[in-house]
Amino acid sequence: MLEYNNIFIDGQWVPACSGEFSTLVNPATEEAFARVPASHPQDVDTAVAAARRAFPAWSRTSAAERKGYIDAICAGLTERADELASLISQEMGIPVHFAKGIQVNGPIQGLSIFGNLAHTMEEERQEEGYLVVRDPIGVCAFITPWNFPLFQVIAKVGPALAAGCTSVLKPSEQTPLACFVFAEICEQVGLPAGVFNLVTGKGSVMGDALSTHPEVDMVSFTGSTEVGVQIAKAAAGDVKRVCQELGGKSPFVVAPGANVAKAIKYVVKDSMFNSGQMCVQLSRVLVHEDQYEEAVEVARTVAESLRIGDPTDRGTFLGPLSSMRARDSVVRYIEKGVAEGARLVTGGPERPEGLERGAYVKPTVFADVTNDMAIAREEIFGPVLCLIKYRDEDEAVRIANDTEFGLSSGVWAEDRETQLRIARQLHAGQVKVNGPAFSFAAPFGGYKKSGNGREWGASGLVEYTEEKAILLGG
């Protein structure tokens, strides 16, 4: 059993005030494999006080100095990449060979981009009669989810470090292990005490202490829309800045006449990745009526070809879902889809053959889905794809935008003009055209109930700053 006995506050490893611990369960085996402290809200006070004390000196460091720390943290993470991938795989089920790329090396690349952007904090804009400068916003509280445990942390801690902010992180209670490693690396590279602090525990216990703390200037949250709203309300009393990265129900428009085989192969694999537990999952696939049955057949073939099972096996595409609770919720949605009259093309609520233990769900494709069904409107957060029929491009765009979310979206078309014409009409923070890789430099964030604010790259850094105008008199 892996044991972490302390949390990281003010550059020290200290016991949580509660004296309590919580156990982590591997969703592939359903067995407990690690134990971490369950912090108490009082730990938030100590951590925020440390972050507040550290802020004046850290905010005055040069950009070059902050880049130096960020580069050293990147090197530390790179050295421990295999260990991180294994921990994340055990916490939340992603196959370990995928974890190394998207869960570890990707975020390291994103962090290094923030190091390279630190110098922009020293840029000033001279205008007629005034000067514009940027200050770091101050002490930040971070609350993150379990589906990309290190990725979501670096999306917040990275720009905070680059901007000159200090922070207190509370990761998901299901997936804190990579954060302990991150804190160990911060200690090892000599990051000044209090610049980064780690507390643990459940959101229901710790959340209010972070989002209502009078010494916290900004709260950045990634997770469900429901909790994001609660946090924004709690933070409103002190007029804190709140950044919310929330849920999604993203559309993928296969343009009329597009290469359906290529488009569907891409979207099935993309949407089943991480067992579909992605806020950006392209979960509603819109196909022209003339190409619809072809699309259904390709989706069936591709979904049935994806290997599901042991996340330590290099041949595995889908591991288990992150927990048995997550599995139950996804299975209920699959049953609901059948009850709503959608056509079950492949998959279903039963356990995959040969996997009697673990939070496994078969990759599931529904056809004849209409956009008013619950499976088309609500975030399922599992390996479930809905194929929706449309008659012309205008209808495709209308259905695509008929959602309360607006995080991601996708288009597949054969010519740039069609790609961009459709992309420009979609109401979402990102549009993926013909299957690009994730960009750690491009702005990322939601329209509508998918959130407020942007993460990653230059736009992500700006979120952590205040813009100041110095008006120049005589």
Task: List residues with catalytic annotation.
Answer: 245, 279
In whole angstroms, how close is the CB of 26 to ligand NAD at the nearest point? 17
Q: In the complex, which residues of this chain contact ligand NAD (CB under 6 A)?
A: 143-147, 152, 172-173, 202-204, 207, 222-224, 227, 230-231, 245-248, 279, 379, 381, 407, 446, 451
Task: For ligand NAD, give the closer residue by CB, 172 or 271.
Answer: 172
In whole angstroms, how close is the CB of 203 to ligand NAD at the nearest point? 2
Task: For ligand NAD, give the closer residue by CB, 26 or 152.
Answer: 152
In whole angstroms, how close is the CB of 16 to ligand NAD at the nearest point? 15
In whole angstroms, how close is the CB of 408 to ligand NAD at the nearest point? 9
Task: For ligand NAD, give the closer residue by CB, 93 or 164.
Answer: 93
Task: For ligand NAD, give the closer residue by CB, 126 or 204.
Answer: 204
Q: SS3 letters for the chain?
A: CEECCCEEECCEEECCCCCEEEEEEECCCCEEEEEEEECCHHHHHHHHHHHHHHHHHHHCCCHHHHHHHHHHHHHHHHHCHHHHHHHHHHHHCCCHHHHHHHHHHHHHHHHHHHHHHHHHHHCCEEECCEEEEEEECCEEEEECCCCCCCHHHHHHHHHHHHHCCEEEEECCCCCCHHHHHHHHHHHHCCCCCCCEEECCCCHHHHHHHHHCCCCCCEEEEECCHHHHHHHHHHHHCCCCEEEEECCCCEEEEECCCCCHHHHHHHHHHHHHHHHHCCCCCEEEEEEEHHHHHHHHHHHHHHHHHCCECCCCCCCCCECCCCCHHHHHHHHHHHHHHHHCCCEEEECCCCCCCCCCCCCCCCCEEEECCCCCCHHHHCCCCCCEEEEEEECCHHHHHHHHHCCCCCCCCEEECCCHHHHHHHHHHCCCCCCEECCCCCCCCCCECCCHHHEECCECHHHHHHCCEEEEEEECCC
Task: For ligand NAD, give the closer residue by CB, 250 or 418.
Answer: 250
In whole angstroms, how close is the CB of 278 to ligand NAD at the nearest point? 7
Task: For ligand NAD, give the closer residue by CB, 249 or 362.
Answer: 249
In whole angstroms, how close is the CB of 174 to ligand NAD at the nearest point? 7
